[in-house]
């Protein structure tokens, strides 16, 4: 009876976007539970999220799944999303902002301006609530409500992202779409499980169901701007982005230095040559025209979750060393499912700026040799590699962890049976500790030298082989 009474009143019509915003802002400082008029949080069988609770209890509109915007007469879409607070008291997005489902059969037929994505999402009302592990859902505080208008420079990048996704559909490659294909607007998986697939028009291969979404890195930057008033320096302006992609603009920045030795570039940039880890980053920042600025703090890098790696090729085009990534959290590795795993998240959601140098002499030929700048590329791991070689590394390692890692004394230390460099030609696990005593505990209680996951040097060589 209570449900029927409430449902009948969920028909409020707003006359202006300002009216909706006023209602939204009236909830700031209150808790989610204050608006749970239908006890969604109390019902075990009710899967309704916090967005539905606010639709009903705050805005007095019925929950819907229609294609058009939530406030139809205003063309305004409501999005409720979580933020977290870190130890530095900075907010970050808990997750990406999922928008509308991608229709492989229809979306490629429209231009961006006429697309279902743009018609539904060009005007967003975003309500941020604070997620805390120590609180029950009903106690989550509502922090901020804001009308989201795409920054003009951001919008140009989002248009490029939309075209990238649509182009893959047109090429019959919807099954190979990855979140890291794009900068700000991503195509995230959206289904009950990994078996949620759809037909695609230009290939017989089923493709994972996906939705347009704003990356969590983009949402973090947005939250910090509207809540903490943080501003982020930008590399490129809207006029540049109207005619060129981010990669093209980056290539233009590096072009004058292609073929030059490291010392020459450093001299031109007035950067002292050192052996510390910060040298490469300082050099690249100077080349980009933002000397003294950390790359990860630049808008294009920050919002797109672009990380920077230098590669040094030997004369034969192969790096001397494999490429290392983050230290493995073995407890997380054994606990998480594939799409929540540490290694999946790193490669599915991250783009890399590879700055490639090459030696034209071997170390034997010249111990004082110096590499020259060969070129740059923006790279993300192809979806086919993520779902095969990378997933195989994860599965094999997880199985070993579940049965217990075999540790054996050898002449030079302790060997283990984790997948090594000859595992699959793409990725492997190997130590990366300060020394043999720099150890972590495995899930079975054994201690092992700190380990990282690595990309094989031969695989890196294959990635960059076409750089001129």
The whole-number pLDDT of residue 237 equals: 94
The whole-number pLDDT of residue 3 equals: 41
- The closest alpha carbon to 89, from 227, 214, 231, 219, belongs to 227
Burial class from Cβ neighbours inside 10 Å (0-12, 13-18, 19+) for residue 402 reads exposed
The whole-number pLDDT of residue 416 equals: 94
Structure confidence by residue, pLDDT tens digits, 306-330: 999 999 999 999 999 999 999 999 9
The whole-number pLDDT of residue 433 equals: 77
Superfamily of domain 2-227: DNA mismatch repair MutH/Restriction endonuclease, type II (3.40.600.10)
Structure confidence by residue, pLDDT tens digits, 183-226: 999 999 987 666 789 999 999 999 999 999 999 999 999 999 99
Tell me the average pLDDT across 334-361.
95
The whole-number pLDDT of residue 63 equals: 84
- The closest alpha carbon to 118, from 80, 147, 83, 161, belongs to 161
Q: What percent of the chain has a predicted confidence (pLDDT) above 70?
A: 96
Structure confidence by residue, pLDDT tens digits, 133-155: 999 999 999 999 999 989 999 99
How does the average pLDDT of the chain come out, rounded? 92
The whole-number pLDDT of residue 8 equals: 46
Q: Is the pLDDT of residue 430 over 80?
A: yes
Q: What are phi and psi of 87, to 5 degrees?
A: -65, -20
Task: Specify whether the backbone of 350 is left (phi greater than 0), alpha (psi in -120 to 50) or beta.
Answer: beta
The whole-number pLDDT of residue 323 equals: 96
pTM of the model: 0.89
What are 313's two structure tokens?
């090729």
Structure confidence by residue, pLDDT tens digits, 285-296: 999 999 888 888
d(C-alpha 310, C-alpha 400), whole Å? 32
Structure confidence by residue, pLDDT tens digits, 241-282: 999 999 999 999 999 999 999 999 999 999 998 888 889 999
Tell me the average pLDDT across 406-427.
92
Q: Is the pLDDT of residue 378 over 70?
A: yes
d(C-alpha 61, C-alpha 53), whole Å? 10
* Helix, strand, coil % over all residues of the chain, rounded to 5: 35, 25, 40
Q: Is the pLDDT of residue 5 over 70?
A: no
């Amino acid at each position: 009876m209570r449900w029927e009474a409430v449902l009948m009143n969920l028909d409020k019509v707003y006359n202006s976007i300002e009216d909706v915003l006023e209602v939204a802002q009236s909830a700031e400082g209150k808790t989610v539970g204050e608006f749970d008029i239908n006890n969604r949080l109390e019902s075990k069988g009710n899967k309704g999220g916090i967005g539905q609770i606010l639709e009903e209890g705050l805005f007095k509109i019925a929950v819907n799944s229609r294609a058009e915007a939530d406030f139809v007469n205003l063309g305004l879409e409501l999005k409720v999303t979580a933020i977290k607070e870190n130890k530095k008291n900075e907010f970050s997005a808990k997750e990406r902002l999922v928008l509308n489902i991608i229709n492989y059969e229809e979306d490629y037929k429209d231009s961006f301006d006429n697309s279902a994505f743009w018609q539904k999402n060009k005007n967003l009302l975003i309500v941020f609530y604070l997620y805390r592990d120590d609180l029950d859902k009903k106690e989550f505080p509502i922090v901020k409500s804001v009308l989201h208008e795409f920054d003009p420079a951001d919008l140009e990048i989002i248009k490029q992202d939309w075209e990238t996704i649509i182009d893959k559909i047109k090429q019959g490659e919807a099954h190979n779409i990855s979140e890291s294909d794009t900068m700000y607007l991503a195509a995230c998986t959206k289904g009950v499980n990994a078996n949620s697939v759809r037909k695609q028009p230009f290939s017989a291969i089923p493709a994972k169901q996906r939705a347009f979404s704003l990356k969590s890195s983009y949402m973090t930057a947005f939250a910090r701007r509207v809540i903490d008033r943080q501003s982020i320096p930008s590399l490129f302006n809207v006029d540049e982005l109207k005619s060129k992609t981010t990669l093209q603009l980056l290539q233009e920045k590096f072009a004058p230095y292609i073929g030059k030795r490291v010392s020459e570039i450093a001299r031109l940039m007035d950067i002292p040559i050192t052996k510390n880890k910060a040298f490469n980053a300082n050099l690249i920042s100077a080349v980009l025209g933002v000397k003294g600025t950390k790359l990860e703090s630049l808008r294009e890098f920050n919002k797109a979750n672009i990380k920077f790696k230098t590669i040094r090729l030997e004369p034969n085009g192969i790096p001397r060393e494999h490429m290392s990534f983050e230290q493995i959290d073995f407890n997380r590795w054994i606990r998480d499912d594939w799409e929540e795993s540490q290694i999946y998240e790193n490669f599915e959601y991250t783009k890399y700026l590879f700055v490639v140098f090459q030696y034209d002499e071997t170390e034997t030929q010249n111990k004082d040799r110096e590499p020259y700048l060969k070129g740059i590329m923006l790279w993300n791991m192809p979806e086919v590699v993520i779902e095969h070689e990378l997933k195989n590394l994860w599965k094999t390692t997880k199985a070993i962890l579940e049965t217990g890692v075999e540790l054996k004394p050898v002449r030079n230390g302790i060997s283990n049976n984790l997948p090594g460099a000859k595992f699959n030609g793409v990725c492997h696990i190997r130590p990366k500790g300060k020394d043999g005593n720099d150890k972590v505990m495995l899930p079975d209680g054994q201690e092992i030298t700190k380990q990282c996951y690595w990309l094989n040097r031969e695989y890196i060589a294959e990635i960059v082989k076409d750089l001129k």
